[in-house]
Amino acid sequence: MTLPAPSNDWFLPDEDAVLQMRRVRVRRGQTDILGPLDWTLRAGERWIVMGPNGAGKSTLLQIAATRLHPTGGEVAILEEVLGAVDVFELRPRIGLSSAQLAAQVPHEEKVQDAVVTAAYGVTGTWRESYEDEDRMRALGLVSSWGLSRLAHRRFGTLSEGERKRVLIARSLMTDPELLLLDEPAAGLDLAGREALVAQLSELARDEDAPALVLVTHHLEEVPPGFTHALLLRDGHAVAAGPIEQTLTEGHLSAAFDTPLRVTRTGGRYTAVAQ
């Protein structure tokens, strides 16, 4: 019997790809708000996704988090192809911190519970029964993200910076293989931002940490240790690749449609208009 020749349409992700998108497109109304986009994130890489308001960053992250199915193209996440996998089995392998998720955490939820509920992929405690091991892991994460003194506080009473930390601790609860952080420093004051950048830098340099994707508008929020960057504008990649070759004056000026002067000191970036 002759086997049919492999079709060009059959999507076989690269072996070392943690996340791979091929010709991905998201259409809303008459407009493509994202793509077509090709993007591959390999094991051990730490990616910054940057671009102006409306560039498609959150849409991209929603796809990577299996929360949104693209209109066209193929997506493989952790060797599973979207559309051919039960996303509820895939989601615990992906950590996510985003404003949408924060809005789903009940205000009266205790901090330690807001972290432990990620074990069941829910945002509020209900009738689940948690193993001691889950509780211990949640408390360990609460401690390592500097939240011990807040463990019994209600989520709704926390400051913006404290909430951001809770969400990152929560995103690590299932020991994910891919960690997606959507604007984790948004709304933080200077000291809060610097503390978070330092902690994310430490995470980025930890060989045992998951593959990382950090979405931000601001160069100042890029933690040292991140290895790659994807610059988006109007849903398209302006540039993508190793961070030092991507976060350049030329590429950033094109992405933000503004002539920028970019400096890099001690692994930190800043940008001002020229």
Ligand X SMILES: Nc1ncnc2c1ncn2[C@@H]1O[C@H](COP(=O)(O)OP(=O)(O)OP(=O)(O)O)[C@@H](O)[C@H]1O
Scanning 20-98, the segments in alpha helix (DSSP H) are: 57-64, 87-90
261 in Cβ contact with 249 (< 8 Å): yes
Among 58, 98, 216, 246, binds ligand X (CB under 6 A): 58
Nearer to ligand X, 67 or 217 (CB): 217
Q: Which of residues 94-123 bind ligand X (CB under 6 A)?
A: none
| Residue 27 touching ligand X (CB under 6 A) | no
- Give the pairing of strands 236-242 and 228-233: antiparallel
Nearer to ligand X, 22 or 236 (CB): 236
Quick count: other Cβ atoms within 10 Å of Cβ 16? 12
- The string over 104-142, giving b where at least 16 C-beta atoms fall within 10 Å of a residue's C-beta and e elsewhere, is ebeeebbbbbbbbbbbbeebeeeeeebeeebeebbbebb
Nearer to ligand X, 63 or 119 (CB): 63
Among 57, 164, 165, 170, binds ligand X (CB under 6 A): 57
| Residue 30 touching ligand X (CB under 6 A) | no
Nearer to ligand X, 57 or 137 (CB): 57
SS3 percent helix, strand, coil of the chain, rounded to 5, is: 35, 30, 35
Smallest separation, CB 150 to ligand X (Å): 27
Smallest separation, CB 105 to ligand X (Å): 20
Smallest separation, CB 266 to ligand X (Å): 27
**For residue 36, is the peptide bond before it cis, meaning its omega torsion is within 30 degrees of 0?**
yes
Q: Across the chain, how many H-helices and E-strands are there? A: 9, 12
Smallest separation, CB 52 to ligand X (Å): 7
Nearer to ligand X, 58 or 246 (CB): 58
Among 33, 78, 87, 151, binds ligand X (CB under 6 A): 33
Closest CA to 64 of 170, 211, 173, 174: 211
Q: Which of residues 145-204 bind ligand X (CB under 6 A)?
A: none
51 in Cβ contact with 63 (< 8 Å): no
User: For ligand X, which stretch binds (CB under 6 A), given 57-65, 90-98, 116-124, 200-208?
Assistant: 57-65
User: For ligand X, which stretch binds (CB under 6 A), given 47-55, 63-71, 103-111, 154-162?
Assistant: 47-55
Nearer to ligand X, 74 or 182 (CB): 182
Among 6, 9, 15, 29, binds ligand X (CB under 6 A): 29
User: For ligand X, which stretch binds (CB under 6 A), given 9-17, 55-63, 140-148, 149-157?
Assistant: 55-63
The helix/strand/coil state of 20 is: strand
Q: d(Cα 242, Cα 259) in Å, to the nearest integer?
A: 22
Look-up of token digits 């989601």: 91
Residues forming contacts to ligand X in the complex (CB under 6 A) are: 28-29, 33, 51, 53-59, 217
